[in-house]
Amino acid sequence: MMTTKTNPTAPAGSVSRMSLTNITRGKQERPLRVIVYGVEGVGKSTFASQAPNPIFLCSEDGTSQLDVARFPSPHTWSEVLEAIRVLTHEEHPYKTLVIDTLDWLEPLCWHHVCQQNGKESIEDFGYGKGYVLAVEHWRQLLGRLDILVRNRRMNVILVAHGAVRRVDDPQTGPFDRYRMKLHDRTSDVLREWVDAVLFARHEVVTFERNGKTRGRSSGARVIHTTWTAAYDAKNRFDLPDTLPLAWDEFESAVRAHIPADANKMKAELSELIPRLNDPQKAEKALREWAGDNPVRLAQLLDKVRGKLALQESSEGDVQTLDATG
């Protein structure tokens, strides 16, 4: 005779949720958990402000140039947690919480840990023990953010500055790369929690002049979505490596796993390609290679923008030479 096994730890009379009848499948659309970091002034806060109905939890001057809703600047770690509690349990219209910036928030966490343990400095614990204790408080904060995301369906965007850090790789040896401007323990736990780590930067194009390779900004601002030796990044959405620094472009790519609207990119290409000195190759690529494929259109658009920037740079150099004789 077959008997049914029951869970000995479950309350008497309860029915297990872990049954075959409760299995589901398919992609699940849910709020986004994102870190965006990069150099000063690249537009990280502006990117976050473009998300649906955001409210900022930030330092006193972090968003002074933006017309956004914001909490009073927290002075303690407890006030940060209180702001998250308010958003979780009180009625409000906001759809996105933006914490701007993480490296402003980290000292509040350290001060909280020191107060609880009677220390003057996070270094006073010795042997990195203070940073280990701080990570536990970050995990508690992320637990509260999990509840916010689940219960209120809010996106969470964490903004941070970037810094060049030395990496000691046992295979390749030491090298420099961009990472978040946070203690490594903090950075690691935050990185694990989010769905995407986006590295924001000014796009740079290179060109040869007098036998030397030089670079200049193309004027575009981009986000990188995948890890390289030069910077830390990741995503769980199979995104293209590079996207414009704009929330609607990023969200569209996430929702559809494509970089942007094909018609929009084709319209921009139709405007830019005729400005090239030699447009025939790009026209052929648009017609025969890219077509209506959003991924290829995005790649072609990046190349055309870069060539135009290089072309305009070279023309500027010629005009300077003409003017000086």
Q: Say which CATH number the domain at 174 has.
A: 3.40.50
Q: What is the pLDDT of residue 124?
A: 92
Pair 56, 50: CB distance under 8 Å: no
Phi, psi (deg, nearest 5) at residue 201: -155, 165
Say if residue 303 is in the same domain as residue 316: yes
User: How many domains is the chain built from?
Assistant: 2
DSSP β-ladder status, 69-70 and 54-58? parallel
pLDDT in tens, 230-287: 999 999 888 889 999 999 999 988 886 644 467 878 888 999 999 998 899 999 989 9
Say if residue 188 is in the same domain as residue 267: no
**Distance separating alpha carbons of residues 295 and 152, to the nearest angstrom:** 33
Say if residue 70 is in the same domain as residue 100: yes
Domain assignment of residue 186, yes or no: yes
Say if residue 305 is in the same domain as residue 319: yes
Pair 290, 259: CB distance under 8 Å: no
pLDDT in tens, 179-197: 999 999 999 999 999 999 9
Phi, psi (deg, nearest 5) at residue 108: -65, -40
Domain that holds residue 159: 30-258
144 CB neighbour count, 10 Å cutoff: 16
Last residue of a domain, one of 258, 278, 310: 258
pLDDT in tens, 95-120: 999 999 999 999 999 999 999 999 99
